[in-house]
Amino acid sequence: MDLSAYPNAIAMSAKEFVEWSTNVMDDIVRATGVKRGLDKVMDPLLNWGVRNSMYPLHFGIACCALEMAACSGPRYDNERLGLVFRSSPRQCDVLLVNGWVSKKLRPALRRLYEEMPEPKWVIAMGECAISGGPWYDAYNVVQGVDTFIPVDVYIPGCPPRPEALIDGFLRLHQKIKKSKIGTFMDD
Amino acid sequence: MEDNVTYTVEQVKSRISEAFPTAVKFESKVKPRRLFMTADKGSLLKLCMFMKDQLGFNQCSLVTGVDWCDRMQVVYHLTSYSSNITAEIVVDIPRDNPEIDSITPLWGGANWHEREAYDMFGIVFKDHPKMERLLLPADYTFFPLRKDCKTGGP
The residue extents of the domains of chain A are: 14-187
Please report which helix (H) or strand (E) contains residue B100, including its range.
Answer: strand B99-101
Q: Is the CB of residue A103 less than 8 Å away from at least one CB of chain B?
A: yes
Instruction: State how many domains chain B has.
Output: 1
**Do A137 and B137 count as a contact with CB atoms less than 8 A apart?**
no
Q: How confident is the model at residue A1 (pLDDT cuts 50, 70, 90)?
A: low
CB B152 within 8 A of CB B144: no
Range with lowest mean pLDDT among A31-45, A46-60, B49-63, B66-80: A31-45
Nearest to A103 among B137, B153, B154 (CB): B137
Is B118's pLDDT higher than 90?
yes
Cα nearest neighbour of A105 on chain B: B137
Report how many Cβ contacts below 8 Å link chain A to chain B: 19
Q: What is the pLDDT of residues A104-153, one digit of tens each?
A: 999 999 999 999 998 899 999 999 999 988 888 888 888 889 999 999 99
Which of these CATH numbers, 3.40.50.12280, 1.10.3720.10, 3.90.1150.10, 1.20.1050.10, describes A14-187? 3.40.50.12280
Query: Which bin fits A56, alpha (ψ -120 to 50), beta or left (φ > 0)?
Result: beta
| Residue B7 · residue B87 · CB < 8 Å | no
**Confidence band for B3, pLDDT divided at 50, 70 and 90:** low
Query: Would B45 be classed as within a structural domain?
Result: yes
Query: What kind and span of H or E run contains B76?
Result: strand B71-80
Higher pLDDT, A75 or A38: A75
Give A-chain residues touching B153 at CB under 8 angstroms.
136-137, 143
CATH number of the domain at B79, please. Answer: 3.30.460.80
Task: With a cut of 70, say whether residue A9 has pLDDT above it.
Answer: no
For residue B102, pLDDT over 90 is answered with yes
Asked if A143 has any chain B CB less than 8 Å from its own CB, the reply is: yes
pLDDT tens digits, one per residue of A97-118: 999 999 999 999 999 999 999 8
- ipTM exceeding the 0.90 mark: no
B121 band by pLDDT with thresholds 50, 70 and 90: very high
pLDDT in tens, A40-93: 888 889 889 999 999 999 998 989 999 999 999 999 998 998 899 999 999 999
Q: Is the pLDDT of residue B154 over 50?
A: no
- Asked if the model's pLDDT at residue B31 lies above 60, the reply is yes
CA atoms of A57 and A85, how far apart (whole Å)? 6
Check whether A10 has a pLDDT greater than 80.
no
* Chain A CA closest to residue B135: A104
| Domain, as residue range, for B39 | 9-126
pLDDT at B109 over 60: yes
Cα A68 to Cα A125: distance, rounded to the nearest angstrom = 10
The arithmetic mean of pLDDT across residues B95-100, rounded, is 91
Q: Which of A1-5, A43-47, B115-119, B138-142 has the lowest mean pLDDT?
A: A1-5
Cα–Cα dist B58/B45, whole Å: 15
**pLDDT score of A164 more than 60:** yes
Examine residue B87 and state whether it is found in any structural domain, yes or no.
Answer: yes
B24: closest CA among B15, B32, B33?
Answer: B15
pLDDT at A183 over 80: no
Contact B151 A137 (CB under 8 A): yes
Strand ranges for A35-180 from DSSP E: 94-98, 121-125, 153-155
Q: A56 by DSSP, 3-state: which?
A: strand
Residue A79 identity (one-letter amino acid): E
Quick check: A139 and B137 CB within 8 A?
no
In a domain, B145, yes or no: no
Show Cβ contacts of residue A99 under 8 Å, excluding neighbours closer than 6 positions.
A60, A61, A62, A63, A64, A65, A126, A128, A129
- Asked if the Cβ–Cβ distance from B152 to A103 is below 8 Å, we say no
The pTM assigned to this predicted structure is 0.77
Nearest residue to A160 (alpha-carbon basis) of A85, A71, A67, A95: A67
Confidence band, pLDDT 50/70/90 cuts, at residue B6: confident
On chain A, the residues whose CB falls within 8 A of the CB of B138 are none
CA distance readout (Å), B39 to A88, A144, B92:
53, 46, 8
